[in-house]
Amino acid sequence: MSVLQKKEFTTISSPKLDSVSQKKNIDRILVRDYLKLIEIGAFQTEYKVKQRVSFNVTLEVKIQSFPLHDNEDYVLSYDNIIDIINEEVNGGRVDLLETLAEHVALSCLGLEGVLEATVRIEKLDKGAGKLGVEIIRRSSETAKNLLRSRHYRKRELNVQKRVPNSGLLFVSSSIFQGDLKDDLKGFLLKTKKSWVICFSEIFDIFLKYNGDANDLKIRLMAISQSAIKFQGEHPEWPLARSMTEVSFLLKNKNSCLWCPKIDLIGSELYQSLENSLSYSLAADLAKNLFLREMYILSNDQQAISLKNKFLPAGIKVKEIKT
């Protein structure tokens, strides 16, 4: 007689995820081994002597909530970190690396979407190895750290600032006709500022919004075509396809032509603006560049008409006599 063996069943529990596996997705922006020649140090021998210092900054940022894209205007730019390091270094001498690291970290936490800042600063000329500090600061502690920093910080945090000696000029499609074209050329020859020129749609037919789902992309393409056409006659003016690129060029004293991408996130907000799309985009660009005004040519009748119909909030529209 066969013997039936009793099968024993054991409950197999699902493996527990460790703390690393349970973490949410994380995005980090990195700047590695950025070298500066600066004067820093508490010892008398370090005064009036510059030494090589290496900066490493890692910023943890919020995960983007909108769909996948390939547009640099919707991610934190590395240039923001470089600008902060340069600004803090040029802001006045400090004795301690800890102080400089604290300033850099607090300024980085002032950038939109930054959750955590890790800053490592190392002296490279103090012996055979590297001597330095590394600090981690989180956005939840920012207010407390800012209050504490007032006791030794000689100036206010200034992360975002207006690009000096620069301006934004909006021109209509009439620029490709007759006297207005000559007036613009004359103005550009005598100006001493760095300018970003924003164009309206290349043909008047695109100035009227027809409600079609693809109309917005078509109109953005028409605006870009105006910039491309102008560059064909003025190859010395580079095209800038993002706000980040415009800011970079102006900071380096280079004028440019605004040529927006057709995947402009949030551009559906402009659908109710009818024939003011290009004008509104120009005003928004001015705000993002921290400019207080935008300019139009006094004999650009289409631009004058838009000025009389629409008043962009926070931006003054001024006429340039030609």
Domain ranges of the chain: 27-149, 166-320
The predicted pLDDT at position 292 comes to: 84
316 versus 18: the higher-pLDDT residue is 316
- If you average pLDDT over residues 220-231, what whole number do you get? 88
Pick from 24-28, 63-67, 225-229, 289-293: least confident: 63-67
Question: CA–CA distance from 39 to each of 53, 96, 131, 274 (Å)?
Answer: 9, 11, 15, 56
The predicted pLDDT at position 289 comes to: 83
**What confidence category does residue 271 fall into, taking pLDDT thresholds of 50, 70 and 90?**
very low
The predicted pLDDT at position 60 comes to: 92
The predicted pLDDT at position 127 comes to: 76
Pick from 14-18, 117-121, 139-143: least confident: 14-18
pLDDT exceeds cutoff 60 at 318: yes
208 versus 31: the higher-pLDDT residue is 31
Q: What is the CATH number of domain 166-320?
A: 3.40.1160.10
Across 14-23, 65-74, 128-137, the highest mean pLDDT is recorded for 128-137
Q: What is the CATH number of domain 27-149?
A: 3.30.1130.10
pLDDT in tens, 155-207: 444 445 567 788 999 998 887 777 777 788 788 888 888 999 999 887 655 55
The predicted pLDDT at position 150 comes to: 42
